[in-house]
Amino acid sequence: MRNDTSRAARRNGFTLVELLVVIGIIALLISILLPTLKRAQRAAQQVVCSSGMRQLAIAWMYYADDNKDWLVDGWPDRDPNRPPGKLPPGRRYQIPFFKGKAWGAQYGNSEAAIREGALFKYARETKLYHCPGDDGWHLVSVSINGWLNGEGSPGATPEVIHKRSDIKRAADIWVFIDENDWRDYQFGYNLGSFMVRRYDLHWIDAPGIWHNNGANLSFADGHVVYKHWDEKGTLKMSIPPYDFNGVGGIDLKWIQPLTAPK
Ligand SMILES: [Zn+2]
């Protein structure tokens, strides 16, 4: 009688070994599925980001329409005490794209700063200014092309264009990009303006890599391009320990002609 009962119990239950095997199989399945799920999540985020980038590009067009063709200021004001009009020669004061007031100052990374930005009137959701793939501490991770009424690049500021009508081929000039700032980890906050040198192969700012090692860029005609970065050096700028030697190759050669009008 006792033997029958224990046999029945054995038939109905799991032995420890069976349980371990089942747990092992589940763990194996999870380890196989997780990278796939992560990739799928990244792909979904890329689509959401792309939609936001398009809305920002359209907001950027509306701004020019409402301001006699002047482009929104692409140079976040780094000096909170600088009065309007006291900008370098050749630049006209306008409210910046958003107010990143100083390197290291946290104000630039606030919802208040985004709401005060000149484009907020046209793109009225703070999440539009942040890439959903960026899981860092930034509220703003979308930056504007420094050549479009912004910083330009060292030694070439006069070539910066100020009016939308000066852009001859809108489909060939990007306006917004996912940016990751490696300098955050050394100097503090430095986002909003993305600079690209035209004449030599050195990066100044680091593009985001959150969409399966790529970034979104929206263009002056409103279309959005996903760019996968093909160089290890481009990725290293965004991966600890943030190796930034600045030297660029095919990725930088891809973005250079799309950055500044010729
Ligand atoms: Zn993005």
Distance from the CA of 128 to the center of ligand 1, in angstroms?
10
Q: Determine the average pLDDT of the residues in 4-9.
A: 54
Distance from the CA of 68 to the center of ligand 1, in angstroms?
30
Greater confidence (166 vs 150) lies with 166
Distance from the CA of 130 to the center of ligand 1, in angstroms?
8
Distance from the CA of 26 to the center of ligand 1, in angstroms?
33
Report the range of poorest mean pLDDT among 100-109, 110-119, 168-177. Answer: 100-109
Cα 238 from Cα 250, distance rounded (Å): 17
pLDDT tens figures, 27-65: 999 888 888 888 888 889 999 999 999 999 999 999 999
Q: In the prediction, which pLDDT does 105 show? A: 45
Greater confidence (110 vs 120) lies with 120
Distance from the CA of 183 to the center of ligand 1, in angstroms?
19
- Show the tokens assigned to 55: 């809305």
pLDDT tens figures, 69-99: 988 877 755 444 444 444 444 444 444 565 5
Band (100; pLDDT cuts 50, 70, 90): very low
pLDDT tens figures, 215-259: 999 999 999 999 999 999 999 988 877 777 778 899 999 999 999
Distance from the CA of 47 to the center of ligand 1, in angstroms?
8
Distance from the CA of 179 to the center of ligand 1, in angstroms?
8
Is the predicted pLDDT of residue 106 greater than 80, yes or no? no
Q: In the prediction, which pLDDT does 189 show? A: 56
Is the predicted pLDDT of residue 112 greater than 80, yes or no? no
Report the range of poorest mean pLDDT among 20-29, 114-123, 147-156, 244-253. Answer: 147-156
Cα 251 from Cα 116, distance rounded (Å): 34
Residue whose entry in the numeric block shows the structure tokens 């000149």? 118
**What is 177-245 written as a DSSP string?**
EEEE-GGGGTT----SEE-B-SSSSBBSSEE--TTTSEEEEEETTS-EEEEE---HHHHHTTSTTT---
Q: In the prediction, which pLDDT does 5 show? A: 54
Distance from the CA of 108 to the center of ligand 1, in angstroms?
19
Distance from the CA of 154 to the center of ligand 1, in angstroms?
27
Q: Among candidates 112, 171, 119, which has minimal Cα distance to 144?
A: 119
Using an 8 Å Cβ cutoff, are 231 and 248 in contact? yes
Cα 229 from Cα 190, distance rounded (Å): 22
Distance from the CA of 141 to the center of ligand 1, in angstroms?
8
How buried is residue 159: exposed, middle or buried, by Cβ count under 10 Å (0-12/13-18/19+)?
Answer: middle
Q: In the prediction, which pLDDT does 149 show? A: 82
pLDDT tens figures, 157-205: 567 888 899 999 999 999 999 998 766 655 455 677 888 988 888 998 8
Q: In the prediction, which pLDDT does 109 show? A: 67
Q: In the prediction, which pLDDT does 150 show? A: 79
Q: If DSSP codes are grouped into helix, strand and coil, which group holds residue 44?
A: helix
Distance from the CA of 51 to the center of ligand 1, in angstroms?
10
